[in-house]
Each structure stands twice: as structure tokens, then as C-alpha cells.
Chain A
Amino acid sequence: GAVVSQHPSRVICKSGTSVKIECRSLDFQATTMFWYRQFPKQSLMLMATSNEGSKATYEQGVEKDKFLINHASLTLSTLTVTSAHPEDSSFYICSAPVAYTQYFGPGTRLTVL
């Protein structure tokens, strides 16, 4: 299957700082990538759709000014959590589609102190 990587795998930061998470498709190109958030013992909730060369599309209730998404190339999308607060602590996962099937990255555990 297609391989998607994420970096970093784990990050701990202080409240008020910004954190950038990278998502890369390693063996294919992706004009679209997806960002999900998963709270403990909950399922994946789609946050936004990242589009190469254009603005991201955010799901209802997701603050676009807080979660900045940049799809810089056909293999890289970044999610920046700005002015992070403890309630932003979660597991962030990206995915990229190949022929409608989405392949997921390993996830990034964000802890905001």
C-alpha cells in the first residue's frame, strides 16, 4: 500500500506556543490530503481537507485561524496549531488518497502543558 509519514510523532509544548506538523506522501503524489483529530477512545474526526495550490477546506466548527494548513507541494501538507492550549491536546492524523482509498500516517501526539 501507499506510504504516508508524519513528523514529529510526539510533541510537548507550553500553552501559547505554535506547533507545526508535517504530513508527507512518500511514494505517490497527493493533490489532496486530509487532517483528522482523535481524542482518547473516540473515533477520527475530519478537521480539514488540504488542497495543493489552493486554500484548505475546513469542517464546520474547526477554527481556520487556529489550525493553519499549507499544502506546499504534491507530497507535503503541514498543519500548524497556533497559540496552542491544553484543550488542543490530541492525536492528529493525516491521510492521502490513492484511487479513493485513504492511507493514513502514523499520527502525531500533541500535548500542551
Chain B
Amino acid sequence: EDQVTQSPEALRLQEGESSSLNCSYTVSGLRGLFWYRQDPGKGPEFLFTLYSAGEEKEKERLKATLTKKESFLHITAPKPEDSATYLCAVQAQGGSEKLVFGKGTKLTVNP
């Protein structure tokens, strides 16, 4: 069974304090690993897709990396507007496009 575990559950940072969020996964053949941002009361917002080990993608203060067992979301010099829940999901190879989500990391960035 495909599984995704995210850590930590919650993370509090001061503005400008860089850190990383972890996503460990087990999947029977990875098609893609996805990162989303979710604000309270809203649907997830797509951030990145990673397809193979060693791949990296960047967007503003965020950088996502992928190994064969885990992915990291690095946040450099975060700002209060980066506060949100960050969700990791995996999609297995095969006919289905469904995603399996982790429980998320709630990030709070204090000014």
C-alpha cells in the first residue's frame, strides 16, 4: 500500500529563518511526487512535481528535492506570507492518476 509520511507536523519559524520539511514515501513505482500549499478553508495550490531521484525544482523561496525514499521542501528566508500547510502526495505508475497524500506540515512564520 502506498504511504506518505510528513514531518514535522508543525513548524514555527522566525522570518528569515531557513528550514526544511520532510516527506517520506513508499510507493509501488513512482510516477510523480507532488507538493501543494493549502491555506485555511481553501483548496490545495500546486507547487511542484518531481519525477525522478536527483531532480530539483525552485519557485521563489521554495526548493523541492527528491531521492528514492523521500523529498524535502526547503524554505529559504521565509516570510509571514509563507505560513500555510504544505502537503506532499505521491502518484503511482499505472492507469490510475489518483494521489495519496500525507497529513501535511503546518508552517507558521512569525514576523
- Chain A residues proximal to chain B, CB less than 8 Å: 1, 4, 6, 32, 34, 42-46, 49, 91, 93, 95, 97, 100-107, 109
Contacts and interface: CB of A to CB of B under 8 A. Distances in A.
Contact residues of A: prevailing secondary structure: strand
B74 to A, nearest CB: 21
Given A42-B103, A100-B31, A101-B34, A93 B44 contact: yes
A93 B45 CA distance: 12
B42 interface: yes
Interface residues of B, number: 22
A100 B91 contact: yes
Interface string B12-52: 00000000000000000001101010000111111001000
A34 B41 contact: no
Contact of A107 (B32, B43, B99): B43
A34 B104 contact: no
